[in-house]
Each structure stands twice: as structure tokens, then as C-alpha cells.
Chains A and B, each alone.
Chain A
Amino acid sequence: MKVPIKWLKDYVNVTLPIPELAKRLTLAGFEVSEIINTGGSWENVFVAEITEINPHPNADRLRLATINLGKEQETVVCGAPNLTIGDKIAFARVGAKLTDAATGKAETLKPAKIRGVESKGMICSEQELGISDNHEGILVLPKEASLGTALADFMGDTVLNIDITANRPDGLSVMGIAHEVGAICGEKVTVSEITYAEAGEPLEKQITIEIIDSELCPRYCASLITNVKIKESPAWLQERLLACGQRPINNIVDISNYVMLEYGQPLHTFDYEKLRGKKIIVKRAKEGEKFVTLDENERELSGDMLTIADGERTVALAGVMGGINSDVTESTTSILLEAASFKATNIHYTSHKLGLLSEASSRFERGISAGLTIAGLKHATQLIAELGEGTVAKGIIDVYPGKKEPKPVTVRAERVKRLLGIEYSVDEIAKAFQMLGIECKKEGEKIIATSPYWRSDLKIEEDYIEEVARVYGYDKIPTTLIANEVPRPDANPSWELKKKIRRSLTGFGFQEAMTYTLASLKNLSNITATGKEPEPTPIHITNPMTADQEYLRTSLRSNLLETLAANQRHEEGGIKLFEIGKVFLTRPNDLPEEPEMLCGLMSGSRIDRSWLGEGKEVDFYDVKGAVEGLFEKLGIPVSFEASSDEGLHPTRQAGVVAQGQGKKVKLGVIGEVHPKVAEAFEVTGTVCLFEVSLKALLPYTTEVKMYKAISRFPSVVRDIALVVDLDVSNQQVLDIIKSFRQISEVLLFDVYSGKQVAEGKKSLAYRLVYQSAEQTLTDEAVNKVQEQVLKKLTQELGATLR
């Protein structure tokens, strides 16, 4: 809302400097986003009058004008065609900054000799003053401009651009802001009484007004002005509209806009002659009814939209836009003026349904007080009578079926203190209310408050308490910390788990990524080698904005693979990424299930290239190491087993399994990304992936861990090199070795297959650590166990010592 200070001063004394006022308004909830000085500074430009015009001695097209500045006179050379003796003009003295008509640039006016005559100044055109592009002639000022006044004082203004919150439609008016300014400055708001002459037949005899749907239209007021002359508005009115950002059109449209800006009450004007049956009926539209609005578009209405009809047809879409069939035109002479109150939600519904947002609808949908109609109607009637030279019919019609008695609200001083944390006496509270025009009655420690007619937001005690805080200032509210005991927090294992995973993986060199939760179906399908759609189908967005954000993701893989591909384009070394986030799975008759997942990717070299050399490209064992490390950090023992994930390399993948309460639970998968998937996402090189379900993992994180004592007895270390068939796995060997309780640690330190061993065989070298918690092991005892180990390995796996 643009509020010109000069207009504001019509109603209230502005006692604070403008920047201070803007600051206070902002604190009170009316954020001044901009302070605009209209008309520029116009230094050294003054109001003057042309007193004499003489021909230029040396040029036919130039003339010498003598101008009067009140106390002094100047003679200047001027080429404008519209010089008239007696006209008030804007006179620029030497040193004024003007827009050069030829170049459009700002220039400082210098003394000049034009065709031999000295000229100490200039009579300005609109363009030279930066008001418009008009350079046809000089700007002629209104007669009331007083000689010698600085032009900035006469024409300029300061305009506050204020952001109005949704609860304060009254703030969308100069009057509404005047009340706020009044409260800030401690000044009373005064509105001059509206009077005009009435003549002729009483209005009731010239029109009947009926409200059929009083829920959607609680109040409808109207007046009639006849013999109106449609013409241009006077300069003062045009200026005010321009300052508020409205383009002047003609006196009727301008008055209606002016009063809307003044009171916040939208008005509508009908051409009275076009209203058939001399009736106004407020009712719902017929379902499917066609109606042409003022913007010349035909609209299809539905039964829940409110219309204004005459005796035969719809003439306006209530509160949104008028119809072309009853529009005021150049030839209109009689105007029926409407000031009504409509139900906010219905106006919102209609305007959004039709995609038809108007200044009126955007105001009505915020819920304007029904108390504003009469004031707005009267002022507009008076202005039309005055500026349109019309005759006002006797009386106004005010149909008010939705009239509600003002509902007083009890405001307790104790509650004010309890909510704001600062004590205000009943008198202080009452004073704050009075400054805002709130009627109040003291009853002991309470105040019975009644909202002023222009406000629609004051409904409950808390609304009034906010007014107290606003008037005295939010800056007066103390800063305290909650004095009460801290509530006992619940355990939040999932939050702690996520934090722990982030710490661990970043420690391992993984970079955390964060991708969008929406994805395309194509990408979600491309995470498997088959490329088939995920089962069940991902949840579709009803109103997607783009195809790549059409579905809720069912996997983190697609967005993370895209992230990897994008980074591979500029990264030289290895890339390690991970993300923790939700996936979305449909559930019958409920919100989707939103399990949290962890996904990680590795690609490129293991160690960044440096002067110390370069690491090899990552493979399955890198991702396995990372996952082993992660689970070790989390304190959850896991094992790996065969798996058949369709997105991973068929022979280079494994399931991650935890042992819990005797049963195996799959926590996730690891593996190299399937070449087809890699191709679909345009990632290069071997890409390793891990994926873990935090939901499956969570129960294990809460298990209580017990410490194991460190043995006080020395350990005995033995290395063995076994030759086994190629298809014997390390795990099989380990399972046997670990079944001996005397062996406390096993380390596989070499794997070999080649010339040194027989074809179809491989060599596995292990370091076995023998240690007892109870005694020092003798060589003999160790030898005995080792013999048993070897025997078992030979029997079960056909292993021989190398």
C-alpha cells in the first residue's frame, strides 16, 4: 500500500520525522519497505508567473518571457509554443539539475546567451523536470500555486510503501494507516464531515435492493447520482492516485478508486439506465451461467459464486468484477453506487476459481469490516456530486441482514502480563486502546473492549493483547529465558544414529550430499539394470511443476547417481558421496511410509593423485571396507552374504546382514553399480554403492554393549599359508578358525593364485593370534590347537599347508 504523506495529513498530524515514523510503523507490524520521494528534489526550481512576453530580437521562433517570482523578476529566452501571460510555471534558476531534452541525461543549468540575449534560467517542460516524456511545451501549474515556493514543496510528496499483513485489510487504506500513525504520534484522527445536497424522488422509489443470500452478502448499501458529467478528474485527485500507483481514467472511476484507497472499501458503479426492472438482487449464480465481465472475457459461473443481478440478468460478479452490460461509459449520466460487504472466503473462492484477481477481490478476500460501507459510500457520493456535477437522489439504501451487534471482548490485565511478560496497568491498557480508537470500559482489573468499526481483526482477547504490545512497542518486551523446569526429553535414537553416521562417514572421507525428494519416473526406473518401474509405483504428484520432479522418490540412488555424474565432469580424483534421506512408499488409507535410507557412492581413484603417487581405482573391497568401518563405529556386528540386487553388478555385490535375537536381518546392500545403470546415469569408471535402511538398523543401535577385558597374558602369534580350491571362500576358512576359542584374532594377510600354486588352487595366508584370558599359553598347548585347526581345515575344505 502506497501512502502519500500529504494525503495522510488530511486526517492526522504527523509529528515525527518520516524515517522515525517509518521505523515505528515497521515495529508495529506495518513494514515500510520503501520511502519514496516523488518529483525529485528539484533544487533551484520555483513557482513563478509569466508577466510579459516579448519577441526575441534575433530569432523568430524564440520569445523573451518576463517572469515574476514574487519578490523578483527575471527575463529568459523561451521557445515553447504555449507561453501565456498569467500562467503559473516552474522556473529553474542557474544551478538547477534538469533532464536535458535532447540527451535525456541530467545536466546542471548554466547561464547562457541565446542568439545574443542573456538568459538566467529556464521555464521547464515536464520532461526537463523528469515528470514525463512530454516536451511539447512548458508545464503549466495550477493557479493556486504560490509565487516563489520551491517546486518540491508544491508538487513533491513523500510516499510510504507499506507491506500490509493478511489480517489487516484496514491497513490497505490511507485512513487505516492514519489511525496507526495517530497511535504512534499520540495524535487524534479527524475526518471532516461529509455533506451534500439531495434532491428529487427518494431512492427507494427509484430502485429496490434485495439480498437473497445474506450469508455471502451481509450488507449492501447504494446511492444514486443523476445528471453526472463524465470527464477528467481535477489535478489534485489525479496526483493522489498517481502517488498511490493508480492511473487516472475519468472522474467516476477515479473517485471510486480514491475512496477505496481512502477507506479500504471497494465500490462499484453501475450505469443506472442499464439496470433493468430498477432492481438489484444479490444471489448465487445459476450453475453454468455465462457472464461477460468488464475485461470483456466470457466467464462460466458456478452455483457457489455470488452475483449482483438486476430484474432480468446478472450485472456483476459480486466483489470481483462488474459486467460489461451495466458498465459506466462516456455517455452514462446516472450512476448507482454500490458499497457492500461480502463473505471473504467466497470472494477468494470465486476469484481463484475464475483466475480473476481484481483490486476489489484482493481486498474483500481479506475480510473487510462491514462497518466501512456507509462512510465510503457517502464520500464517493459527495465527490461524484461535486466533481461530476451530479444530483444526488434522496437518501441511501442500506440493506444489512447480516448486522451483528459489536461483540465486546474482556481483556484482563493479568492475562496481558501473563502473555507479554510485562505488566501494564488497566489505565495503561485503556490508554493504548483509546489511541487505536478501541472503545473501552474499565471493570476492576479488566477492560471491556469493543473494536472500532473499521477493524475486522479484533476478535479475541489475544488480538487485543497484541494491540497493547504494538502500541507500547515490541522493543519494550523483556528478554527472558523460560524459568520453568526443563521438560524431560524423550530418547531420540534415530536422530542420534543419523548424527553418528554423518560423523563416521565424513571421517572416512565421504562428502555428504543433499538431493531433492522428488524425481522422475525414468530415473527411478533406471536404477535397475532392467529399467522397469519400481514396485509398488512411486507416489505421483498431482500438480508437478517439471517432469524431473513428478514422483516422490522410492530410492536415494537416482538423485545421488546424477550428483556423481555431474561432479565427475569436473573432478579429477576420487569421489565419495553419501546421503541420508527419506524415501516414500505408498500405504493403503494412510499417509505414505517414509523410511529413512543411507546411500553412498564411490568412484575414481582410492587416493588422490599427488607427488607421492596415485591410488588405484576403487572396487568392491573399498565399499566393503567403508561399510565394515561404519558398522564397527556404530558397534553393530554385521556379515555379508550373497545378494541379487538388480541395480548392482551380478557377481560383485553382497547383502549386509545383522544378527539379532537369533535371526538374520538384512540391513542393506553393497556392490559395484551395474554397468547398465552406470550407463543410464552417464557415470564413468567403476562406481561402488552402498545402501542401508536406517529403519532396519535402528533396533540394533539401542542394544546395550558390554566391554571385553583385555587379557593380561601374553599372546602367541602363528602364521599359516593354506592352499585351497579357488571356490573356497575366505569366510569358510574364517568360520573354522574362529570356532576355536583359544584363537583371539585372525588376519588374512595374503591371497595368491598363479604360478606358485597348482592350477585351480589359491593360497590364503593367515596370522593367528592365540591368547587366553586365564593363563599363559605354552608352545605345546598352541601347537596342539593349531594341529586341530589344520586338521579341521583339511577335512572340511581340503586345505593343505603350503
Chain B
Amino acid sequence: MLKEIEKIKAEAQEQLAGINNPKDLEAWRVHYLGKKSPLTQILRGLASLSIEERKAVGAAANKVKGLLETSATEKNQALHEVQLKSATQKESIDISLPGRPLSLGHQHPITQAIEEICDIFVSLGFQVKEGPDAEWDYYNFEALNIPAEHPSRDDMSSYWIDTPPGEKGKQLLRTHGTAVSARIVENMKPPIRTIEPSRVYRYEAVNATHLNIYHNMDGIAVDKNITMGDLKGVLFEFVRRYFGKERRARFRTDFFPFVEPGGEVAIECAICKGSGCRFCKGSGWLEILGCGMTHPEVLRRGGIDPEEYTSFAFGMGLERMPMLRYGIEDMRLFYNNDLRFLRQF
């Protein structure tokens, strides 16, 4: 009997090895493990055997049955894998065909720059404030230490508008974003830290590097013990964040009527890395903003005591920032709104 069991085992295993589809496997299972299979017959006939025989034959038959069942399961899994593999093979596609197009929109590079720069300053404790495009002469000039007949007005030729003058002078389209700072010092109480995106207007001929309508980004901080070191620190941090930590920055003396001491920040020319080229006019540096310690007269006009509080202010031409970052040489591109340009940002 035991010999027979061994024979069944050998025969079943041999057949199983040759099976390569689920149908044959099922037939094999019925044949060797089904109700009518020889093994089942043997197990059923155990009762007629002696106790010793029963023990030995039963154990051997059950062992072979278990073995065959495990083999069948493994075979089944193997066959399934093979089948799946061949099925997925048949589903192969050309992955180089383009994807289903999504409709993609982009933010305008200027609003991107405005938001990004504001975010940098917001992270440094500044808050975004805006002011009117049409402005009184007072906030655009007088409050900023630029009285009538001041030569600085010549550098900021203005667009005037046909609206009646008021107590604060004539109305014009602001020539610089610093007008917003003039309103801030008048309307807010220290401590103040504001960042002010603005649209500005100059009565000037348009070319690749000058527009008559463009943007400024100004900022002002008023608090006890604000120093020029803080001004330099905040602006250098801005340069690091916007242009990257490899860009060197330079801080030098400059003059604006509304600050004293006055300064200017320049960044290293990306093209020549500071050695001087045509792009930076040989200087190795590109001026990006004007700044300084707010002139005490400007604070006083806003009702802030310059002995109690100190303040710094800065202002930059906004378009210049993305121009320097992306290497855009013609400022007019921003306002031509050609989709072929806008899609790149």
C-alpha cells in the first residue's frame, strides 16, 4: 500500500510539472485530489486495515495529499502570474503619445514678482499696503521733501490729470511708490513695517528699459532704534531670497530727497560675475533699489517724532527684478501680453 502511495505521488508530481494552463490543472486536481482519486480511495479504505497498517498508510496518504495540495496551489499561482504577464503585454501602448491636454493658466510675471517680493517682506514682519494711483501733489512730492521747483521733480516728469486741485495741491498719477510711504507715516502709528506694491506713471518716452507706466515696490519701517544696519540687513536678505544666496550685494551712498543718509543696493552682474561687461556697462554691478534712513522732515510731516523713532525706507523698480532674474532685455514684453511670452512663467 505504501508503495502505491509513493507511486501516486511520483506520477502526480510528474504530470503537474507538465501542466501549463488552468484547465489542465483543474483536471489534474480532480484526478489526484478529487473524491474519486486513488488517494481518497485509499483513505476511505483505511477502516479495513489493521491498526498498525492504518497508522502507517493513513499518515503517508495524508502527507502526500497535503504535499500535492500545496503543489497545486503553487502551480495555480505560477500559472496566474504567467497569464497576467501575457495579458498586460497585450495592453502595451505608445507612451510617447502626448498626454490629454489640460488647460494651463499662468500668473503674469509681474504679479508673480509682486506676490513673491511681498511674501519675502511679510516673512520679515512687513505688511502689504496699497495706495491710490491718482495722487495729490502733496503725497507724491511735498511730503517727501520735494517742494515745487526742486530739480528732483525733473527726473520724475509727471502725468497730470484734469481734475480740480484741492488743499493738497494738484492731482497727478503718482510718479513713484514712495507716495504710499508718505501716506503710511501720516496714517499709521509706529511700530510700522509696510511693503507697498504700486503702479507708477512717468511722462517719458518708452524704450526697452523705460516705460511710462510700470511698477514700484516701496517699503518703510518706523520703530524705536531702527538702524541703517537693519536697512542693510533686510535688503540683503531680500536679495538673498529673491536672487539666490550666491549673488553678492553692494551697499553704497546715494541721494534721494526723502532719506538721509541715503543709499543704493546693487547686485553682482549675473553675466560677468562682477568683472564688468556690456550688460552692466562695465561696472560689474546692477543697481536694484534706492533706500536710506527716512528724512526727519518726512517723519515730522507725518506726525512722527524723529527723536523718538527712527525709520528706514526703500523703493525699487519692480519690473527690473524679474528682468534681472530671467534675463529679459525688453521691459515692454511685460505689457504686450503676448501669450508666447506669458506662458513661460
Report the minimum CB–CB distance from B242 to chain A (whole Å). Answer: 16
Are A584 and B151 CB-contacts (below 8 A) given A469-B228, A480-B227, A607-B101? no
Partner of A346, one of B149, B155, B192, B296: B149
Interface residue A108 (Cβ < 8 Å from any Cβ of B)? no
Q: Which residues of A contact B106 (CB under 8 A)?
A: 506, 511-512
Give residues of chain B (150-197) contacting chain A, Cβ–Cβ below 8 Å.
Answer: 150-152, 154-155, 159-164, 166, 171, 173, 190-193
Interface residue B260 (Cβ < 8 Å from any Cβ of A)? yes
Would you call B230 and A481 a contact (CB within 8 A)?
A: yes
Partner of A541, one of B160, B223, B228, B295: B160
Q: Which residues of A contact B250 (CB under 8 A)?
A: 27, 475
Report the minimum CB–CB distance from A366 to chain B (whole Å). Answer: 6
Segment among B18-26, B65-73, B108-116 that sits at the interface with chain A: B108-116
Would you call B105 and A611 a contact (CB within 8 A)?
A: no
Would you call B228 and A511 a contact (CB within 8 A)?
A: no
Report the minimum CB–CB distance from A458 to chain B (whole Å). Answer: 11
Are A479 and B191 CB-contacts (below 8 A) given A484-B224, A591-B134? no
A484 CA to B192 CA, complexed, in Å: 11
Are A348 and B149 CB-contacts (below 8 A) given A29-B255, A511-B105, A571-B339? yes
Interface residue B213 (Cβ < 8 Å from any Cβ of A)? yes
- What residue of chain B has the Cβ atom nearest to residue A540's Cβ? B162
Interface residue B148 (Cβ < 8 Å from any Cβ of A)? yes
Give residues of chain B (88-124) contacting chain A, Cβ–Cβ below 8 Å.
Answer: 97-98, 100-108, 110-111, 115, 122, 124
Would you call A26 and B252 a contact (CB within 8 A)?
A: yes
A575 CA to B334 CA, complexed, in Å: 18
A792 CA to B11 CA, complexed, in Å: 78
Partner of B124, one of A481, A484, A591: A481
Segment among B36-44, B51-59, B74-82, B125-133 that sits at the interface with chain A: B125-133
Would you call A465 and B232 a contact (CB within 8 A)?
A: no
Give residues of chain B (298-345) contacting chain A, Cβ–Cβ below 8 Å.
Answer: 310, 334-340, 342-343
Segment among A39-47, A67-75, A163-171, A189-197 that sits at the interface with chain B: A163-171
Report the minimum CB–CB distance from B338 to chain A (whole Å). Answer: 7
Give residues of chain A (463-506) contacting chain B, Cβ–Cβ below 8 Å.
Answer: 463, 465-466, 469-470, 474-475, 477-487, 489-490, 492, 494-495, 499, 502, 505-506
Q: Which residues of A contact B107 (CB under 8 A)?
A: 502, 506, 512
A607 CA to B103 CA, complexed, in Å: 7
Report the minimum CB–CB distance from A396 to chain B (whole Å). Answer: 30
- What residue of chain A has the Cβ atom nearest to residue B139's Cβ? A591
Segment among B1-9, B27-35, B233-241 that sits at the interface with chain A: B233-241
Would you call A487 and B295 a contact (CB within 8 A)?
A: no
Would you call B281 and A33 a contact (CB within 8 A)?
A: yes
Q: Which residues of A contact B227 (CB under 8 A)?
A: 418-421, 480
Interface residue A358 (Cβ < 8 Å from any Cβ of B)? no
Q: Which residues of A contact B115 (CB under 8 A)?
A: 499, 502
Interface residue A610 (Cβ < 8 Å from any Cβ of B)? yes
Interface residue B243 (Cβ < 8 Å from any Cβ of A)? no
Interface residue A567 (Cβ < 8 Å from any Cβ of B)? yes
Are A27 and B252 CB-contacts (below 8 A) given A345-B147, A594-B132? yes
Q: Which residues of A contact B255 (CB under 8 A)?
A: 29, 165-168
Q: Which residues of B contact A511 (CB under 8 A)?
A: 105-106, 339, 342-343
Would you call A492 and B128 a contact (CB within 8 A)?
A: yes
Interface residue A428 (Cβ < 8 Å from any Cβ of B)? no
Interface residue A539 (Cβ < 8 Å from any Cβ of B)? yes
Central interface residue in A33, A365, A511, by most chain B CB within 10 Å = A511
Are A611 and B97 CB-contacts (below 8 A) given A166-B152, A486-B193, A517-B213? yes
Interface residue A563 (Cβ < 8 Å from any Cβ of B)? yes
Would you call A576 and B251 a contact (CB within 8 A)?
A: no
Give residues of chain B (229-278) contacting chain A, Cβ–Cβ below 8 Å.
Answer: 229-230, 232-234, 236-237, 250-255, 257, 260-263
Would you call A543 and B159 a contact (CB within 8 A)?
A: yes
Q: Which residues of A contact B261 (CB under 8 A)?
A: 419-420, 462, 465-466, 469-470
Q: Mark A533-549, 1 if CB is under 8 A from B, else 0.
A: 00000011111110001
Partner of A594, one of B134, B147, B230, B296: B134
Interface residue B45 (Cβ < 8 Å from any Cβ of A)? no
Partner of B223, one of A484, A490, A505: A484
Q: Which residues of A contact B128 (CB under 8 A)?
A: 492, 495
Partner of A487, one of B100, B193, B234, B310: B193
Are A543 and B108 CB-contacts (below 8 A) given A419-B228, A591-B135? no
Would you call B163 and A592 a contact (CB within 8 A)?
A: yes
Partner of B191, one of A34, A487, A590, A607: A487
Are A482 and B342 CB-contacts (below 8 A) given A475-B251, A492-B127, A563-B337? no
Would you call A567 and B263 a contact (CB within 8 A)?
A: no
Are A586 and B163 CB-contacts (below 8 A) given A466-B262, A477-B251? yes
Would you call A510 and B136 a contact (CB within 8 A)?
A: no
Q: Which residues of A contact B122 (CB under 8 A)?
A: 489
Q: Which residues of A contact B102 (CB under 8 A)?
A: 509
Q: Which residues of B contact A666 (CB under 8 A)?
A: none
- What residue of chain A has the Cβ atom nearest to residue B227's Cβ? A421
Would you call B105 and A507 a contact (CB within 8 A)?
A: yes
Are A482 and B221 CB-contacts (below 8 A) given A420-B228, A462-B295? yes
Q: Which residues of A contact B232 (CB under 8 A)?
A: 474, 477-480
Would you call A582 and B133 a contact (CB within 8 A)?
A: yes
Would you call A566 and B337 a contact (CB within 8 A)?
A: yes
Interface residue A514 (Cβ < 8 Å from any Cβ of B)? yes
Are A349 and B230 CB-contacts (below 8 A) given A502-B107, A541-B160? no
Q: Which residues of B contact A489 (CB under 8 A)?
A: 122, 127
Interface residue A515 (Cβ < 8 Å from any Cβ of B)? yes
Report the minimum CB–CB distance from B204 to chain A (whole Å). Answer: 8
A542 CA to B173 CA, complexed, in Å: 11
The 6 closest A-B pairs by CB, nearest first: A509-B103, A421-B229, A421-B227, A29-B253, A466-B261, A345-B149
A-B contact list, 27 entries, CB within 8 Å: A29-B254, A33-B283, A345-B150, A419-B261, A420-B261, A421-B227, A462-B296, A463-B260, A466-B253, A469-B228, A475-B250, A477-B251, A481-B233, A482-B124, A484-B191, A484-B225, A487-B191, A495-B130, A511-B339, A539-B161, A542-B160, A545-B205, A574-B103, A575-B339, A591-B136, A592-B161, A594-B133
What 6 new A-B contacts, CB under 8 Å, besides A509-B104, A589-B164?
A: A469-B228, A481-B237, A487-B190, A487-B191, A511-B339, A514-B335
Chain B contact residues, CB within 8 Å of chain A = 97-98, 100-108, 110-111, 115, 122, 124-125, 127-130, 132-136, 147-152, 154-155, 159-164, 166, 171, 173, 190-193, 199, 203, 205, 212-213, 221, 223-230, 232-234, 236-237, 250-255, 257, 260-263, 281-283, 293, 295-296, 310, 334-340, 342-343
